[in-house]
Amino acid sequence: MKKRIVSTLVLVLSLLLCMGVSFAGEVIKVGAGQPITGRFAFAGKHIHQGLMDSLDYANEQGGVGGMNFKYIYEDTGYDLKRAIASFKKIMAQDNPVMMYGESTGVGKAMAPEINSRYHVVYGSTSFSEELADRQKNPYTFVSGPTYAQQFGVLLKYIAGQPKKNNKPHRVAFFYSDTEFGRDPIPFARKLAKELGIEVVAEEVTKVGAVDITSQLLDLKRNKPDYCIFQGYVVPPIPEVIRGAKDFGLDIKFMGTFWAMTKMLLDKLGPDGEGYMGVSPYSYWYMDEVPMIQAMHAYSKKHHPDVAYRPSSYMQGWFTGMIYVKLAKLCHEAGLPITGENLKNMIPKVQNWDTGGLNGVVSFANSNATATGKVYKAQGGKFVAVSDWIKLDE
Amino acid sequence: MHIGDFKETYSSDQAVFINATSRFWLGVLFAVLFLFPFVAGDYLLFMANLAGITIIGAVGLNILTGFTGLISLGHAAFIGVGGYTAAILSTRFDLPFLLCLPLSGLMAAFFGIIVGGPSLRLKGLYLCIATLAAQLILEFVFVHWESLTGGIRGMNISPPQIFGYVLDNDFKFYFVTLVMVILCVTFARNLFRTRVGRAFIAIRDRDISAELMGINLLQYKTYAFALSSFMAGISGCLWVNFLKTVTPEHFPLMESVRYLAMVIVGGMGSILGSILGAIFMTIVPELISTFLGFLVNIFPTAMSFLFPLQQVIFGLLIVIFLVFEPHGLAEIWRRIKNYFHLWPFEH
C-alpha cells in the first residue's frame, strides 16, 4: 500500500514537473520597472496600466503561436538607482526577453549592458534620439517618433501652411533647460533651415518656471507665427499662452507628446482653444479608430468604471503592441523568441497597420516610428488637422 | 561574556581592535565579504556595489559634518566633481582607472577647499547655505559647460581596466569597491587617532576653545573639507566607472540631503554609523519595495495604494529610529553588543 502511494506520488510529481516545464515554455516574459510612484507617477501609472492591458489583450486574442505574455513589474519611484536595481532584479529572477524602463536616464545607463550582456529588447517612456539610434543601441526602441521627429512633423506641417505675405514662416522654440527640453533642438534648427522656416527666437526656462515675463517680451519683439513648446508637461505653458493673449500676440502655440494631454487642456480652459501639437497616438474619444474601439471593449470588460484613458496609457498600450508584433515576426520566421532574435526583427517592422492608433508605421532608418499627427484643441478635445505625417518620406 | 578588559597604556586605550574576539569577528566579516560575490546574483551584487560606493561618500560627509561639525549640503556636487573628472580623464586623456581614482579625489578636494574657504566666517545654518550655493553652482556647470561635460546628455565611458583586466560586470567591480571601502574606512578610523582627527573633534565641540588650544581653525576646517571632498571624489569616480555613464541628473540637491540623512540616521561622529547609515538608506527602501511588491502580487487591486506607502514606511522608520535612538544606528549596535558582552549578567 505504502509503495503504491509513493509511486503514485512520484508519478503525480513528475507529471506536475513536466507540466511546469511546458507551462514555462509557453510564456513570453516581459519585465518592467515602472515609475508608478514618484514625480513621474502622473504618467507612469497609466503607462503601466496600458502596457499591462495591451499584453493581456494580446493573450485574450490567443497570444503568439499559442504562447502567452507574462508581465512582471516593479515600482521604481522614478529613481535611477532603484530603476537599475529592479532591472537587474527582474533579469536575475525571471530572465525576460523584453524589458521596459522608466526614463531616458535609465535607458542610457543600461544600454551598454543591454548590448553586451543582457541582450533584451528594451522599450521605455523615453522619446530620446539616442535610444532610437540603431547603430549604437540596436536593442532599444522608442514607442513612437523621437522628440526630434515630433518636431520634424510639426515643422513639416508648418511648411505646408499658406505663408503670410509670401514671407517665410516665423517659428519660436520654447523649451526647458533639461535633456527632455534640449533633445530635439539641434535637429529642429537644421530641419527648419532645410524647409525654409525662419527660427526667430529660442526661449529657455527652468522646468515649472513661473516668471516668464522676459521670454514673453522676447516673443513680442520677434513676432513668431508659431511657437513650439518642448520639455514641459504643464507649467509654464498656460502662463505663456495667457500672457501672449494679454500682449495681443497672434501666435499659434504648439506642443509635443507630453504637452498634448487632456490634463493640459483642462488647465488651459477656454484659453486652450486652438492650441495645437503633435501626438504619435489617437485619443481615447476617437471612437472611429479600430484600435481605440478594441480598447473600449477591453476596458468595458475589465475596468467598467474607467471613463477616460490619457495619452500615456496609449503609449503603454502601443509599446505592448510593439512587443507582440516583434514576437509574432519571430514566430512567423520560425525562430525561437529570444532577445537577440527579437532585436533582429525591429528593422523588419515595415508598413505595419496599428489599427489607427499610430497610423501605418515602419522602423525604417531608426528604432522609432517617425510618424505623428497634428491635432488642434476644439471644445476641450483634440481634433486631427492633418493625416499621419511621415518624416522619412 | 567579556571580562578582564583592562587598559593599562594609552595605546591600548586607543586600539581599534580591543581584543582577540573583535579581531576574530572582523576576520569573519572579511571572509564573508570576500565570499559574498561568489554566491550572490546580479541584483545583490549591484546593491552591494551601490552600498559600497555610498559608504565611501557617507564616511566622507561624516568626517566633515559628524566629526568637525560643519554641515554641508553640497556633498553630491563634490561626488559629481569626482565623477566628471573620472569621465573626462578617461575619455579625453585615456588615463587608466587607477590613476583616475586619486585624481578624481584630488580634484574634488580642490573644489572642497574652495567651498570650505568661507567656513572660517560662517557656521551652522549660514555655512549650510554657502554649501548649498556650491551645490547649485556646480550643478549649473555640469549642465552648461557642454564642451567639457557633455551637457545634459552627459558622457558615456568604456568599462575601466586594471592592468589590462576589464571590469565590465558587477562581480568584478565588487572587488574594487570592497578594497576602496576598506581603505577609506581604515583611513577614516585611524584619522581620529591622530592630532588632525582630534583637532576636528575639538573644533566641533567648541571652536573657540579649540583655537585657544592652539588649533588653527582655518587650516583644520580646510583639511576637513579637503578630506571629505576627497572621499566624495573617490565615491564619484567609482560611481561613474560602475555605471559607465554620467549625467548631471546623478548629482541633484536631493542626493546631498540623502547623504546628510545617512550620516544622521547612522550616527554623527561615528565611522560605523556612516557605514550603517549608508547601508540602511540603500538597502531598506529595496526591502520595503520587495515586501510591498509581494503584497501587490496577492492583492493586485491595492497597487495604487500600496506602492506610495513605500515612502511613508521609509520616512516613518527613520523617524522611529531617531526618536528611540537619537545617536543613530551605531548607538543601537553598540547597545546590542554591550548586551552580549555582559550576557548572562545584565548589570
How far is it, in rounded angstroms, from Cα B192 to Cα B187? 9
Same domain as A266, residue A156 = yes
Q: How far apart are the first and last CA of chain B?
A: 12
Does A180 share its domain with A249? Answer: yes
Co-location of A383 and A243 in the same domain: yes
CB–CB of B41 and A177 under 8 A?
A: no
Q: What is the pLDDT of residue B1?
A: 52
Of A45, A85, A130, the CB nearest to B43: A85
Peptide bond into A236 cis (omega under 30): yes
Chain B residues with CB under 8 Å of A45 CB are 304
Please indicate whether, in this complex, the C-beta atoms of B153 and A112 are within 8 angstroms of each other.
no
- Are residues A322 and A346 located together in one domain of the fold? yes
**Under 8 Å between Cβ of B93 and B157:** no
Contact A41, A35 (CB under 8 A): yes
B2's grid cell: 567579556
Question: With left for phi above 0 and alpha for psi between -120 and 50, is residue A119 left, alpha or beta?
Answer: left
3-class secondary structure, A277: strand
* Interchain proximity B286–A85, CB inside 8 Å: yes
Q: Based on the fold, state whether residues A17 and A138 are members of the same structural domain.
A: yes
Q: Which of B140, B307, B311 is the best mutation test for A, with the most CBs of A within 10 A?
A: B307
- Integer Cα distance of B178 and A32 in angstroms: 30
Residue among A144, A126, A142 nearest A40 (CA): A126
- Phi then psi for A99, rounded to 5 degrees? -130, 155
The answer to whether the Cβ–Cβ distance between A105 and B249 falls below 8 Å is yes
Residues A263, A385 share a domain: yes
SS3 B262: helix
Q: Select from A74, A84, A116 the Cβ nearest to the Cβ of B46.
A: A84
pLDDT digits (tens, 9 = 90+) for A282-299: 999 888 888 888 888 888
Residues of A in contact with B50 (CB under 8 A): 81, 85
A308-367 residues touching B, CB cutoff 8 A: none
Residues A86 and A193 in one domain: no
Does residue A253 sit in the same domain as residue A270? yes
Residue of B nearest to A79 (CA): B250
Q: How far apart are CA B276 and CA B183, in angstroms?
A: 17
Cell numbers that stand for A212 in this block? 516668464
> Beta A170-176 vs A226-230: how paired, if at all?
parallel
**Pairwise CB contact (< 8 Å): A81 & B50:** yes
Q: What pLDDT is stored for residue A235 in this prediction?
A: 82
| Chain B contact for A182 (CB, 8 A cutoff) | yes
Q: What is the pLDDT along chain A (393 residues), one digit of tens a residue?
A: 445 554 544 444 444 444 433 344 578 899 998 888 888 888 888 999 999 999 999 998 888 888 899 998 888 888 888 888 888 888 888 889 999 988 888 888 888 888 888 899 999 888 888 888 888 889 999 998 999 999 899 999 998 888 888 888 899 999 988 878 888 899 999 989 888 888 888 888 887 677 888 888 888 888 898 999 998 888 888 888 888 888 888 889 999 998 998 888 888 888 888 899 999 999 998 888 888 888 888 888 888 888 889 999 999 999 999 999 999 888 888 888 888 888 888 888 888 888 888 888 888 888 888 889 999 998 888 998 988 888 876
Of A149, A101, A97, A111, the residue nearest A326 (C-alpha)? A97
CATH number at residue A178: 3.40.50.2300
Q: Which of B46, B151, B303 sits opposite A85 (nearest CB)?
A: B46
Bond preceding residue B344 cis, omega within 30 of 0 = yes
Q: Cβ atoms within 10 A of the Cβ of B23, count?
A: 12
Strand pairing class (A121-124; A98-101): parallel
Q: Where are the domains of chain B?
A: 40-342
Q: Which of B91, B136, B153, B297 should be substituted to probe chain A, the one whose Cβ sees the most A Cβ atoms within 10 Å?
A: B153
pLDDT digit of tens for each residue in chain B (347 aa)?
A: 556 667 777 777 777 776 777 788 889 999 999 999 999 888 899 999 999 999 999 999 999 999 999 999 999 999 999 999 999 999 999 899 999 999 999 999 999 999 988 877 888 888 889 999 999 999 999 988 888 988 877 888 888 888 888 888 889 999 999 999 999 999 999 999 899 999 999 999 998 999 999 999 999 999 999 999 999 999 999 999 998 888 888 898 989 999 999 999 999 989 999 999 999 988 888 888 888 878 887 887 777 777 778 888 888 988 888 888 888 888 888 888 888 877 777 65
Same domain, A180 and A262: yes
Domain count, chain A: 2
DSSP string, A40-56: THHHHHHHHHHHHHHHH
Closest chain A residue to B249, measured at CA: A105
CA-nearest residue to B140 within chain A is A177
Q: Give B311's contacts in chain A (Cβ within 8 Å).
A: 37, 77
Cβ-nearest to B42 among A92, A116, A182: A92
A88 touches chain B (CB under 8 A): yes
Residues of B with CB under 8 A from a CB of A: 41-43, 46-47, 50, 143, 151-154, 156, 159, 168-170, 243-245, 247, 249-250, 282, 285-286, 289, 292-293, 303-304, 307-308, 310-311
Mutate to test the interface with B, among A48, A87, A179 (most CBs of B within 10 A): A179
A174 belongs to a structural domain: yes
Q: Check A108 against B245: CB less than 8 A apart.
A: yes
**C-alpha cell belonging to residue A80:** 535611477
> From CA A343, how far away is CA A122, in angstroms rounded?
9
Residue B181: per-residue pLDDT? 95
Interchain proximity A36–B152, CB inside 8 Å:
no
Q: Is A116 on the interface with B (CB under 8 A)?
A: yes
**DSSP for A368-391, written as a single string:** S--EEEEEEEETTEEEE-S-PEET
A177 CB neighbours in chain B (<8 A) are 143, 152
Chain A and chain B share a number of CB contacts under 8 A equal to 70
Residues from chain B contacting residue A130 (CB–CB below 8 Å): 153
Residue A210 counted as domain residue:
yes
Q: Which structural domain, as residue segments, surrounds residue A114?
A: 11-144+288-359
Whether this prediction's pTM lies above 0.90 is answered by no
Chain B residue numbers touching A91 (CB-CB < 8 A): 42-43
Cβ atoms of residues A225 and A170 within 8 Å: yes
Tell me, yes or no, whether A245 lies in a domain: yes
Distance from CA of B239 to the nearest CA of A (A): 11
Å from A195 to nearest chain B CA? 27
pLDDT at B3: 62
Tell me, yes or no, whether A234 lies in a domain.
Answer: yes
DSSP A161: S
> Does residue A1 sit within a domain?
no
User: Checking DSSP bridges between strand A98-101 and strand A252-255, what pairing results, if any?
Assistant: unpaired
How close, in Å, is residue A77 to chain B by CA atoms?
9
Tell if the CB–CB gap between A92 and B43 is shorter than 8 Å. yes
List CB contacts (< 8 A) between A86 and chain B.
Answer: 289
A384 and A271 in a common domain? yes
Same domain, residue pair A97 and A219: no
| B308/A37 touch (CB, cutoff 8 Å), yes or no | yes
Task: Say if the Cβ atoms of B249 and A80 lie within 8 Å.
Answer: yes
According to DSSP, the β-strands at A276-279 and A371-378 are: antiparallel
Alpha-carbon distance values, A49 to A56, A381, B157, B237 (Å): 10, 22, 35, 38
pLDDT of residue B223: 94
Closest CA to A181 of A151, A201, A217: A151
Say if the Cβ atoms of B169 and A77 lie within 8 Å: no
CB-nearest partner of A75 from B154, B247, B307: B307
Residues A154 and A131 in one domain: no
